[in-house]
Structure 1
Amino acid sequence: MIVYPSAVYIAFRLLGDSGFESYAVGGAVRDSLLGKKPSDWDIATSALPDEICRVFSSYNKIIIGIKHGTVAVIIDGSQIEITSFRKDGIYSDARHPEAVSFSASLKDDVMRRDFTVNALAADIDGNIIDYVGGIDDLNAGVLRCVGVADDRLNEDALRILRAMRFASELGFEIESETKLSMKANASLLSMISSERISAELGKTICGKSASLVLNEFSDVVAVIIPELEKTFGFVQHNPHHSLTVWQHTLEVLSHCSPIPALRWAALLHDIGKPACFTRDIFGIGHFKGHADKGVYISHDILSRLRMSKADTELILYLIKYHYPIPAPSIKSVKKLLRKVGVDRFFLLTELMRADNMGKHIFDADNENKLAKQKEKVELCVSLLSRVDETAREILSSHDCFSLRDLDINGDDLIKLGYRGKDIGRALDFLLDAVISGEVSNNKEELISHLEKKR
């Protein structure tokens, strides 16, 4: 059943009273039928753009999209996008139609849409209009292009990533023709802006079925992030890892909360491993320096994807410090808190936890091996729980672990004769001493400790 907000009812009534057809369309209809509350509503109408403006003359409007028939109307504080029925012209840039022509037919409007589950319409009474079999696909959990898949994806290559995103978020299976077309046309993604790719891929990796979708469409992922391709099938030759680097990456991602920066860090955390791989005389694989290498590679990737400075910095911090696990001692935890900060600390330990939980797909056919694998994972998870507990104790007791917590500051050091970079060096020296337990966080004792060094 579809329950419309009052703003949508008002839009329906005003258009209907003026003699125009109008229907709710797109994701709001799909989500309503799935029992979800839509975040926004779109209406398709037989009214032309100037007629939409006249119908809603007493309302605030945003007409940026009027060239393509869309007028955003603000009703009771809600923005409703109202678009004239239309047919799209030729897409020459694999993203936008060169021109649109307006139509009097809802069917014309529906047939230009991307996927059948997004091509459903509903009238003011909630009656569903389905020209493309969208209801059957919705009930079956299938994502299928409207009409010919190659046509839809060549029109707008971003639909390739939108399909992956919907499959990830909704847990849907992508229909075979659509799947083949996505893979065949993946190179068209080079024509899409980095910002749009970043946004869609970010939503994809945060979906409930992200790992399944990324694995199934790893060839598409490689078009966007070719650096990841080296992790595909990369055997680690290490007793602590029974999975390839890519398989491990997907397992780690699936064990992380759907927080964008955390999921991005999970996706990229071991991207430096292939470049750092060595084997010892026993044939055991090692990856010394892979975290730092991963930071270097990931910085280029995130810059290319136009990720924000704040997000990039957070993701790179998580990659840099995801290994090794710190000891649960007060000293070790304080040092890590100092390095990464409070906001990043618990994201980091979650990534560490996921990293260890994703080392194996447990071998149920070998009971001894299964028991040992589980024991190692449980030991690491238990250790990280103690690390988290220690951090919470430090935070609750307001222990000193950062420069701002020190009972001495730069002004105090200037009075003692320190200048320039020597001030920062002295503060760092004192903080290290407090964290290691050499001296109490008391101004007089700190000054005395500093004088001994001089």
Structure 2
Amino acid sequence: MPIQIPIPAACQAILNRLCAHGYRAYIVGGCVRDSLLGCTPHDWDITTDAPPEAVLSVFPDYPVLTTGLQHGTVTVLIGREPYEITTFRIDGAYPDGRHPDSVQFTTSVEDDLARRDFTVNAMAYHDADGLIDPFGGQRDLEAGLIRCVGDPMRRFSEDALRLFRAVRFSAVLGFSIEPKTLSALHALRNTISLVAKERIFSELKKTVAAPYAAEALRTAPDLFFAAVPQLSCLRDVPQNSRYHCFDVFEHTLHALDYAAPDCTVRLAVLLHDTGKAACRTTDADGHDHFYGHPAKSAEIARETLRALRCDNKTLHDVVTLVELHDTVFPMRPVKFRRLLAHIGYELFDRLLAVCRADSAAHAPDVIAPRMAALDDAQREADRLRAKDFCLSLRQLAVNGSDLYALGLRDAEIGKMLNRLLDSVICGQLENDRDRLLRSVERSIKSK
């Protein structure tokens, strides 16, 4: 039975209009792959034999973006949704290992597909012609394989980012990397240094947040460490301890398997034990200890994320989670509330997610009590959240204007508000306006 792919109305309208003007047009790449896998595509890309200038003339009544025009791409906006239309092309040489030095338009869709990275991304489709699959992409989808189009050494030499993309697709789809493709990936791993750090970070985030991240990274650790050299400190660090049954790298990968599919959580899990190599000591009985490793790991996490051009919020959140990942629960109520006040509920929930993943990758006999303590911590946080317990100045029943009216000025106001908040967090005062103001009055009179 011929393959049929349901195409959104707007995308179908673009195909129909190009064909009505005498051109061939297909959906191509990831949207074909995802459709064949039964997934909903995020983007619908179109390839055509119409030259870019012709594409512009076919869509005079729609907003278009021409930023990709030199590479043959016109983006048509329909209902604010972008649809990239790219002319069939053949790429020239890649002298910098990232970008072709020329683009030659062609009338052959097969030539266009031949320049793409992996077989599962080198398929095109149109209702009239069916599936165009000259390189066996459908077969590799069924077999669960990531395979380069043509010669893997050439494909990876053209664009070094494809090295990490192979691992990322493996992590997302749960596919194996075909042996010749994997061999070329290992051989050319150091060329990943040609890729901008921002691009590496983008691929890393997608990879660690994917369902099969651990197995994909386990398949190509040498590429992983070449791409992010700061993380090579995870390699070859034993953990001779009753609390652990894996070395640091395997522990990290197992923790990734258990981690919630949240990018910030996954990055924190990836980085949480990076300081162990620097902090490792071995006692007279042969047991390893890693005193101070959370602070060292946070330092390495900050260095790593800065090198990867990470945004400030993600950097702050990940470093905080790494620094706190070894927090011991249960803790005294006051200390617990101060922790919540320090990082907030959202980051606290992520901290527990990191701690759960870390704990699940420990030795079997220590997992259950750790998980029970984390569950208790979650319940207490949820109780305080439902009660709207005061943990921030925003929740405090008095504000700066109230203290100004009592005669406090400038820095005195800030200091008094923080003192009141700490008293409420510690349970020494209720978050009641009258009681807080009486406390301030007593403090002023006692001076």
Task: Give the C-alpha shift of residue 257 in structure 1.
Answer: 1.3
Matched, 1:389 2:379: yes
* Counterpart code for 1:252: A
Spell out, residue by residue over 1:189-224, the C-alpha distance to the aligned partner (whole angstroms, 9 max, x if none): 111111111111100111111001111211111112
Matches within 5 A, 1:305-344: 305-327=308-330, 330-344=333-347
The ranges of structure 1 where at least 4 consecutive aligned residues each deviate by more than 6 angstroms after the TM superposition are none
* Counterpart code for 2:259: C
CA RMSD in angstroms comes to 2.0
Q: Percent identity?
A: 38
Matched, 1:128 2:118: no
Q: 1:439 aligns with which of 429, 433, 444?
A: 429
Matched, 1:7 2:10: yes
- Rate the CA distance shift 1:165–1:449 in 2: closer, same or farther, 3 A: farther
Q: Is the deviation greater in 31-40 or in 316-325?
A: 316-325
Spell out, residue by residue over 1:63-108, the C-alpha distance to the aligned partner (whole angstroms, 9 max, x if none): 1111111111123443211111110001111111010101111111
Spell out, residue by residue over 1:419-446, the C-alpha distance to the aligned partner (whole angstroms, 9 max, x if none): 5555444444333332222333331453
Matched, 1:35 2:48: no
Matched, 1:260 2:263: yes
Say whether the 8 Å CA contact 1:329–1:390 is kept in structure 2: no
Q: 1:149 aligns with which of 152, 160, 175?
A: 152
Say whether the 8 Å CA contact 1:9–1:124 is kept in structure 2: no
Spell out, residue by residue over 1:365-384, the C-alpha distance to the aligned partner (whole angstroms, 9 max, x if none): xxxxxxxx1xx311111111
Matches within 5 A, 1:42-57: 42-57=45-60
Say whether the 8 Å CA contact 1:186–1:223 is kept in structure 2: yes
1:18 counterpart residue number: 21
Q: Is the deviation greater in 121-130 or in 417-426?
A: 417-426
1:294 & 1:449 partners in 2: Cα distance? Answer: 45
TM-score (norm 2): 0.93
1:366 counterpart residue number: none
1:404 counterpart residue number: 394
Query: For structure 1, which runs of at least 5 residues remain unmatched after alignment?
Result: 363-372
Task: Give the C-alpha shift of residue 55 in structure 1.
Answer: 1.4
Spell out, residue by residue over 1:28-63, the C-alpha distance to the aligned partner (whole angstroms, 9 max, x if none): 000000001111111111111111111112221111
2:57 & 2:188 partners in 1: Cα distance? Answer: 42
1:80 & 1:16 partners in 2: Cα distance? Answer: 16
Task: Give the C-alpha shift of residue 259 in structure 1.
Answer: 0.9
Matches within 5 A, 1:169-318: 169-318=172-321
Say whether the 8 Å CA contact 2:171–2:216 is kept in structure 1: yes
1:74 counterpart residue number: 77
Matched, 1:378 2:368: yes
Say whether the 8 Å CA contact 1:277–1:285 is kept in structure 2: yes
* Counterpart code for 1:440: E
1:212 & 1:30 partners in 2: Cα distance? Answer: 21
Say whether the 8 Å CA contact 1:426–1:450 is kept in structure 2: no
2:446 & 2:153 partners in 1: Cα distance? Answer: 73
* Counterpart code for 1:70: T
Spell out, residue by residue over 1:385-422, the C-alpha distance to the aligned partner (whole angstroms, 9 max, x if none): 11111111111112222233333444445556655555
2:163 & 2:339 partners in 1: Cα distance? Answer: 41
Say whether the 8 Å CA contact 2:326–2:355 is kept in structure 1: yes
Say whether the 8 Å CA contact 1:42–1:81 is kept in structure 2: yes
* Counterpart code for 1:397: K
Secondary structure in structure 2 of the residue aligned to 1:429: helix
1:365 counterpart residue number: none
1:107 counterpart residue number: 110
* Counterpart code for 1:30: R
Secondary structure in structure 1 of the residue aligned to 2:45: strand
1:412 & 1:270 partners in 2: Cα distance? Answer: 47
Secondary structure in structure 2 of the residue aligned to 1:439: coil
Spell out, residue by residue over 1:225-266, the C-alpha distance to the aligned partner (whole angstroms, 9 max, x if none): 222222212112221112111111111111111111111111
* Counterpart code for 2:47: A
* Counterpart code for 1:28: C
Say whether the 8 Å CA contact 2:186–2:223 is kept in structure 1: yes
Secondary structure in structure 2 of the residue aligned to 1:405: coil
Say whether the 8 Å CA contact 1:294–1:320 is kept in structure 2: yes
2:338 & 2:252 partners in 1: Cα distance? Answer: 27
Task: Give the C-alpha shift of residue 452 in structure 1.
Answer: 9.3
1:186 & 1:419 partners in 2: Cα distance? Answer: 61
Query: For structure 2, which runs of at least 5 residues remain unmatched after alignment?
Result: none
Q: Number of aligned pairs? A: 441
Q: Is the deviation greater in 434-443 or in 141-150?
A: 434-443
- Rate the CA distance shift 1:167–1:377 in 2: closer, same or farther, 3 A: same
Say whether the 8 Å CA contact 2:420–2:436 is kept in structure 1: no
Q: 1:353 aligns with which of 356, 361, 377?
A: 356
* Counterpart code for 1:244: D
Say whether the 8 Å CA contact 2:429–2:436 is kept in structure 1: no
Q: Is the deviation greater in 443-452 or in 92-101?
A: 443-452
1:91 counterpart residue number: 94
Secondary structure in structure 2 of the residue aligned to 1:24: strand
1:52 & 1:38 partners in 2: Cα distance? Answer: 23
1:281 & 1:453 partners in 2: Cα distance? Answer: 57
2:236 & 2:347 partners in 1: Cα distance? Answer: 31
1:97 & 1:284 partners in 2: Cα distance? Answer: 54
2:323 & 2:352 partners in 1: Cα distance? Answer: 13
